[in-house]
Structure 1
Amino acid sequence: MILRILKSREALLIAVIAALLALIASRFPAFIEPTNLVNVLTDTSPLIILALGQAIVILTRCIDLSVAANLALVGMVCAMLNVAVPGLPIPLIILIALGLGAILGAFNGILVWKLGIPPIVVTLGTLTIYRGLIFVISDGAWVNAHEMSASFTGFPRAEILGLPILAWLAILASIAFLIIIARTPLGRAFYAVGGNPHAAVYTGINVGKTQFWAFVLSGTLAGLTGYLWVARYSVAYVDIARGFELEVVAACVIGGIAIAGGAGSILGAILGALFLGIIKNALPVVGISPFWQLAISGAAIVIAVAFNARAGRAKGRVILKRAEAEALT
């Protein structure tokens, strides 16, 4: 049991993150001070929240490339609402963000479920649609900090027990999804659909409907992140978070979520996001341009997919050897 835990992707990632922090701290001790680690967690929180939703989508043999566009569209809507109605309560804005994000995610899910369109095609299309809608509703204009209310921009930054609310929301979302995956029929259905959709049908699981709910959950988290993003950075514009979907996928794959579906864990996706967050924050410290982050994310996806594929082949050989041994006996 202990040996299996030590060989798991999660244990490997924890060891890599610890080694990475030790390496950075050996040259820049201030990086691991509590205040800076809180800043790293806060900076990584949007990636963690989006990775949670992306993880369950990938578990069902799908992919959602529209999460960053969903984030941007919902963020723009929230910012424009705040400008139009400055007194709108923050809880109501959050509910609107969650609802709109869920609708955008449901649109993806319906196209995959009812029309049978491949998820990568659907979400590439809706990515473009959502980006176009931002331009339509804003006419290409930015919403800047001086136009937003203090309560709107202050909510994600407000601290509870030394942690910003943004970080607390990432922690609470992580706990909620860990419970959903481990303790609910829907969570088990995600794995069943990704592992073997044909067998899942025979157990009474509706494959398309399960994938639909995965997209809805992913969209809901993207909507929440949309408000948090524009409020924290105090700006909303057409190209906000462009390319961020690559980092989200990278976090999941690095965390051990199998791109073919049915394997991986939510904890792994969280650790993958933290790994990328630490690298992102460490690059300026060690004198490397942050623009290298996209290249690092892309390379990490290729390496992680290759690692997952090799591990899968190794498991397959073990199963065959056991079957041969049983046949001989």
Structure 2
Amino acid sequence: MSLDSKSATPAHPTSGHEKTSVIASLLTLRELPVIVALLVLVAVTAALNPLFLSEQGVKDLLLNATILMILAVGQTLVIITRNIDLSVGSILGLVAFGTGSVFVAAPNLPIVVVLVLGMLFGAALGAVNGLLITFAKVPALVITLGTLYIYRGINNAWAGGTQYFAGDRPRAFGDLSVDTFLGFPLITLIALLVVAIVAVYMLGTRQGRDLYAIGSEPDAARLFGIPVTRRVLLAFVINGLLAGLAGVLYASRFNSVGATTGAGLELDVVAAAVVGGVAIFGGSGSVIGAAIGALLLTTITSALTALRVDKFWQQAIVGVLILAAVAADRIAGVRSARKLRIAEARNV
């Protein structure tokens, strides 16, 4: 036997071990159940209604999920820190109506400028939430429930009975949700870019990893020198910024914006994050999972509509998914705690 063949022989067990390790890692992904549920749902619906996966059908699925994906990404940052933002629907509504107002006042304004203005407006509203929560030391649930109504009231007073329709905006702006690139709608590509950027931020930067530490144990995070107040405030600002972006894209996607735009959307956003594997008690989850959760929820609605199922069942299924996600998170938490106790007992 040659030297080359001898040196090559031991590579097989290592390769097999690596493959097993990769498979085991994939099976433990928090996002795996929601990915499987999404694939099964699409397969079953397509089998019963072949038009569901037509070119236009796929485009509609992506467009329907786009706004919710962006909002779910921002909400994930907040939930990971053991907080929640119930005002995102109202922020979206304010920015969407503001976008319509800007185009009426300055129809030739570049779209990029409008996007930046909307994001800054949303970031300012998110900063108000963050400042009230971090400095007043009042639970986020209470603060954002209050700002939900405040922002909605401002939008009602601002808009009144006024609505801006598709004809009030530049054609190029409306084309963001019509034109495609490699089969993907342009606004969906913007959403995917947001998911990628925030995912890298969460896992590849000190600030992103600090958010997980804060959600896992805030007191311990302070002891380790993590600036908890600044990090939580930043999470709310980014969440508001993304809600602002979603508001501008909403104005492009839908035919009209007015006083009621975005009403009730906050519940869908929280549901998408939780279904996507983000722990409602903070400390774990990913923006990719939240984005997949958003895609699953909107696909459920589209699938049941395609199959002519009553709208009640759409809401009921979403409720079951939320309960299942919370239950799975608690089971995983109990198992982790048990393994930790066993490890500590062995070390004693």
TM range (shorter): over 0.9
Q: Is the 8 A contact 1:112 1:208 kept in 2?
A: no
Shift of 1:278: 1.2
Shift of 1:326: 3.3
Q: Is the 8 A contact 1:246 1:298 kept in 2?
A: no
Quick one: distance in 1 between partners of 2:347 and 2:100? 64
Residue-by-residue CA offset, 1:247-288 (whole Å, 9 max, x unaligned)? 111111111111111111222112211111210111211112
Q: Is the 8 A contact 1:190 1:262 kept in 2?
A: yes
Quick one: distance in 2 between partners of 1:157 and 1:25? 23
Please report the TM-score for the alignment, with normalisation by the length of structure 1.
0.94
More moved, 229-238 vs 185-194? 229-238
Quick one: distance in 2 between partners of 1:63 and 1:294? 21
- Equivalent runs, 1:273-288 vs 2, <5 Å: 273-288=294-309
Q: Is the 8 A contact 1:142 1:235 kept in 2?
A: yes
Letter of the structure 2 residue corresponding to residue 144 of structure 1: F
Quick one: distance in 2 between partners of 1:217 and 1:21? 32
Select 2:347's aligned residue among 319, 323, 326. Answer: 326
Q: Is the 8 A contact 1:82 1:152 kept in 2?
A: no
3-state SS in 2 of match to 1:64: coil
Letter of the structure 1 residue corresponding to residue 92 of structure 2: L
More moved, 307-316 vs 289-298? 289-298
The 1:89–1:292 alpha-carbon spacing in structure 2 relative to 1, beyond 3 Å, is farther
3-state SS in 2 of match to 1:56: helix
Residue-by-residue CA offset, 1:145-202 (whole Å, 9 max, x unaligned)? 3333323322332322332211110110011011101111111111011011111112
Letter of the structure 2 residue corresponding to residue 132 of structure 1: G
Quick one: distance in 1 between partners of 2:150 and 2:238? 20
Letter of the structure 2 residue corresponding to residue 300 of structure 1: L
Asked if 1:299 is matched to 2:320, the reply is yes
Asked if 1:215 is matched to 2:233, the reply is no
3-state SS in 2 of match to 1:140: coil
Residue-by-residue CA offset, 1:187-223 (whole Å, 9 max, x unaligned)? 1111011011111112211111111110111100100
Tell me what 2:15 maps to: none
More moved, 289-298 vs 222-231? 289-298
More moved, 293-302 vs 236-245? 293-302
Select 1:262's aligned residue among 283, 287, 292. Answer: 283
Gaps of 5+ in 1: none
Runs of 4+ in 1 over 4 A off after TM superposition: none
Tell me what 2:17 maps to: none
Quick one: distance in 1 between partners of 2:113 and 2:25? 46
Asked if 1:82 is matched to 2:103, the reply is yes
Tell me what 1:244 maps to: 265
Quick one: distance in 2 between partners of 1:183 and 1:37? 32
Please report the TM-score for the alignment, with normalisation by the length of structure 2.
0.90
Asked if 1:36 is matched to 2:83, the reply is no
Q: Is the 8 A contact 2:66 2:187 kept in 1?
A: yes
- Equivalent runs, 1:1-329 vs 2, <5 Å: 1=21, 2-290=23-311, 292-327=313-348
Letter of the structure 1 residue corresponding to residue 234 of structure 2: W
The 1:295–1:66 alpha-carbon spacing in structure 2 relative to 1, beyond 3 Å, is farther
Letter of the structure 2 residue corresponding to residue 115 of structure 1: A
Q: Is the 8 A contact 2:63 2:188 kept in 1?
A: yes
- Larger Cα Rg: Structure 1 or Structure 2? 2
3-state SS in 2 of match to 1:9: coil
Shift of 1:9: 2.0
The share of aligned pairs that are identical, in percent, is 38
Quick one: distance in 2 between partners of 1:131 and 1:291? 27
Q: Is the 8 A contact 1:61 1:261 kept in 2?
A: yes
Quick one: distance in 1 between partners of 2:128 and 2:110? 27
Shift of 1:291: 5.6
Quick one: distance in 2 between partners of 1:295 and 1:124? 24
RMSD of aligned alpha carbons = 1.6
Shift of 1:34: 4.2
Letter of the structure 1 residue corresponding to residue 78 of structure 2: V
Aligned length: 327
Quick one: distance in 2 between partners of 1:295 and 1:208? 38
Q: Is the 8 A contact 1:148 1:234 kept in 2?
A: no
Quick one: distance in 2 between partners of 1:67 and 1:291? 25
